[in-house]
Amino acid sequence: MSKDTSPRPAKPKQTSVDVSEAQIAVHWPEEDYVSPPSPFIAQANLADPGIFQRFALDKFPESYKEFADLLDWYKYWDTTFDASNPPFWRWFVGGRINACHNCVDRHLARHKNKTAIHFVPEPESEAVQHLTYQELFVRVNEFAALLREHCGLKAGDRVTLHMPMVAELPLTMLACARLGVIHSQVFSGFSGKACADRIVDSESRLLITMDAYHRAGKLLDHKEKADTAALEAANAGHAVEKVLIWQRYPGKHSSPTPLVQGRDLVVNDLLPKFRGQRVEPVPMPAEAPLFLMYTSGTTGKPKGCQHSIGGYLAYVTWTSKNIQDIHPEDVYWCMADIGWITGHSYIVYGPLALAASSVVYEGVPNHPDAGRPWRIAEALDVNIFHTSPTAIRALRRDGPDEPAKYHYRFKHMTTVGEPIEPAVWKWYYNMVGKGQAVIVDTWWQTENGGFLCSTVPALHKMKPGSAGPGIPGIHPVIYDDEGKELAMGSGKAGNICIRNPWPGAFQTIWKDPDRYVRQYYKRYCRDPKSRDWRDWPYFAGDGAVQAADGYYRILGRIDDVINVAGHRLGTKEIESAALLVADVVEAAVVPVADEIKGKVPDLYVALKPGLAPSAAIGDKISASVVSEIGAIARPRRVIIVPDMPKTRSGKIMRRVLAAISNRQDPGDVSTLANPEVVEKIKSLAG
Ligand code: PRX
């Protein structure tokens, strides 16, 4: 926009969505309130109702000083909020800070012998590792020394991590943060190819990985993916110079894939050289990037959301303290993966900034049985638990009575990532929480850094199936398609936006500022020339309704993104992977409601003329999706159709396909160019 001077890529074709998650959202009636338990309120960090006044819109932006004051600063900032170049907001300008210092060093005086990370291996026979703050400090320093001395990394460099859920992952992130190096962690379940795309986009010279890890009872070869990633990056013209490999079992190579001489370095072999070394944390500008987190968008490849050091850390620390209610003596378990934003904010940075003990669990929740999480909770005395509706549904299905068998006591529980059905919420509350834990349903996104909507646990009543109002400092609004504001509490569905900027919001899309503006701010911008933040509401891409009490209910994505088990997948990414199979001429992905995962993708394909449909072709297409993106994107079904339902102008009618997959009425199809194909597709998809 007016102040953006960076080079502009050619304008990509705007895609239109003719079916969205929000349209096939699960609807349920409004539920009755549930009050937070009084023992929770008595100990809560935030129980002062004056908070809403302090964070009223007219107190913006200085109200956010309270967030940043939770951190240690080398140099205090001069300007809390700089809006001179909308929507490229800058927070705590002039401040100098280091995220690693705030998560590790500053706790040593009072908490050095306290556990920072409980690492729980998936095999139950393996001992839990308890890493104290002092041990974390020592190991982060040694690894930071290795990165600096051996690999020549310096502030501003990007490094891609493709690591599983092990203690070495937060350790690696913190070592990067100590040096001012920007980390880009890729979910370990993603394929080598998906990792390569992120390496290339972020121009990482270094890939940090692990040889193997346990998942669902198997020791997976993970090193293999690093070779694919390096090869694919090279094919795209980008050289990965070094691959750093942590050993899952120090001293032993646990992968059948051999090392590549001259490129691969085994971290555990090199570390002894750096024993006892100390690396001073680099005082970084508050607005320097801390990390990139790639996420799916409406078009093309995933985009790198760039998060700042000062604003992001302030935001996750405040929300961890006041919405998660973390006290230093708490044992906190967020059963997400650090490869997603939830793990960055609420396994690593938020809890560690508050000197809590954070649990890192390697494996799947219901392995070897659905009692596993509750055994872990009992053994480690976990009192704050955080997970997704998908995990809750699976644990409820596989072991509805398991929680009662274990003696743990949660004071607080979180649900995040998808809408939660009231029946599932109630099982979570009654069985998992034993009726004693408060629940927060937190709505937010990769782009946001931390929670946007949630009840404040000691101040609001809970309402099953509703996220809640904006958290203190966040002022949501719902617009209709024409840009008209829906009245507060109208109960009508529209597009949820946030009126004001906040410190946790991403700064831009890595190397694509134009897309950042276009995708998140253009839609409801009142005046592109305005430097007033009030003219630039943030457009989230979710449908929502607000009830009369101010609570928001999130309906789902209104764009080409499907939320599968709480993870975002671009329909375009899956379709492109299908089109790589030479037999395929057209592909269309639609979201289908799923009892456990919320939504899953159905993939419709049309083959080249003359090719007969076969199970083998379907398998090949499915395999292409898995190797391009990862197993998480595997379509529920590949349905080979004789032709796609199309408008007269040749546009694929995904709405019709979605209706068929969701066993809904496809409506009037007589205006299609080929209405007769609908019945054929119905019988194939039946
Ligand atoms: O559709 C919303 C859904 O997840 C999307 C964001 O996904 P991601 O960036 O991967 O981040 C997930 C975890 C922060 C949103 O656009 N979503 C997230 N939380 C909720 C939700 N839908 C309903 N209720 C929630 N609590």
Length of the chain in terms of residues written: 686
Task: Give percent of the chain with pLDDT exceeding 90.
Answer: 92
* End-to-end CA gap in the chain: 48
Distance 508 CA to ligand 1 centre (A): 19
Confidence of residue 300 (pLDDT cuts 50, 70, 90): low
Of 362 and 12, which is predicted with more confidence?
362
Structure tokens at 93: 């300008």
438: left (phi over 0), alpha (psi -120 to 50) or beta: beta
Question: Does residue 484 carry a pLDDT above 80?
Answer: yes
Sequence-ordered list of residues with C-beta below 8 angstroms from that of 646, at least 6 positions apart, any chain: 652, 653, 672, 673, 674
Distance 172 CA to ligand 1 centre (A): 26
Total Cβ atoms within 10 A of residue 623:
13
Distance CA 314, CA 338 (A): 19
Confidence of residue 28 (pLDDT cuts 50, 70, 90): confident
Distance 29 CA to ligand 1 centre (A): 21
Residue nearest to atom 8 of ligand 1 (CA): 445
**Cis-peptide into 61, omega within 30 deg:** yes
Kindly write down the DSSP assignment for every residue of 519-579, as one continuous string. HHTSTT-S-TT---GGG-PEEEEEEEEE-TTS-EEEEEESSSEEEETTEEEEHHHHHHHHH
Mean pLDDT of 138-152: 98
pLDDT at site 17 = 72
Mean pLDDT of 159-164: 98
Question: Does residue 10 carry a pLDDT above 50?
Answer: no
Question: What would the pLDDT profile of 304-350 be if each residue is shown by its tens digit?
Answer: 999 999 999 999 999 999 999 999 999 999 999 999 999 999 999 99
* Pocket (CB within 6 angstroms of ligand 1): 295, 341-342, 416-419, 441-446, 467, 541-542, 554, 556-557, 563, 566-568
211 close to 156: Cβ distance less than 8 angstroms: no
> What value, to the nearest 5°, has the Cα angle with vertex 346 and ends 476 and 139?
150
- Which residue from 666, 667, 662, 480 is spatially nearest to 25, judged by alpha carbons? 662
Question: What would the pLDDT profile of 396-414 be if each residue is shown by its tens digit?
Answer: 999 999 999 999 999 999 9
Q: Does pTM top 0.85 for this prediction? A: yes
Distance CA 436, CA 413 (A): 10
Under DSSP, is residue 637 helix (H, G, I), strand (E, B) or coil? strand
Under DSSP, is residue 20 helix (H, G, I), strand (E, B) or coil? coil
Distance CA 367, CA 443 (A): 28
Atom of ligand 1 nearest to the CA of 453: 26
194 close to 170: Cβ distance less than 8 angstroms: no
Atom of ligand 1 nearest to the CA of 336: 13
